[in-house]
Amino acid sequence: MSEFWQGKTVLLGVTGGIAIYKAVGLASKLAQAGAAVDVVMTPAAREFVTPLTFAAVTHRGVHTDPWLADRKPEHIALAERPDIVVIAPCTANTMAKLAYGLADNLLTSVLLATVKPVLIAPAMNVGMWNAAPTQRNLQALAADGYHFIGPDDGNLACGYTGTGRMSEPETIFAAMEEVLRGETDKTDS
């Protein structure tokens, strides 16, 4: 266990992309480091893996429905809990929704309501990444204070080679710690 992650809560947002297998590794790494990991899966993410996969590595329930909370709508309760939110993988579709403030699933609703730092790990085809709308959305999200890690260059699941690979879990893990330490520095000054 890592002393840094003890007592920290992470909200891991998972969208529908083949890189989701890396998100399982990230969730496991965070839980092993001592973080409480709440996972929110979009409907498309559940087409790639089941919530049980994330529950098994985090030892916590997985959130998929915005109307299951005790006293508040779940998206508000989840937005208040974490020290940091990470979206891995984050598809072009979800980036577009965030850039325009759309809240049509539990994850996008949580992200619209949170004031916590958000780290996005994009994963998509090289053409989608380089597309002008995606680059505009990236700039808009960065201007809104979102943090980014990746995407990396390499072989993509679609058979192309180029920028679009989700960063490796270890890289995302380190970036999360860096973002949190930066946020702590801001509050200490």
Distances (CA, A) of 165 to 17, 35, 147, 170, 175: 11, 25, 17, 14, 16
The question of whether 158 is a catalytic residue gets the answer yes
Question: CA nearest 123: which of 99, 87, 171?
Answer: 87
Among 158, 160, 161, 174, the active-site one is: 158
- List the catalytic residues: 158
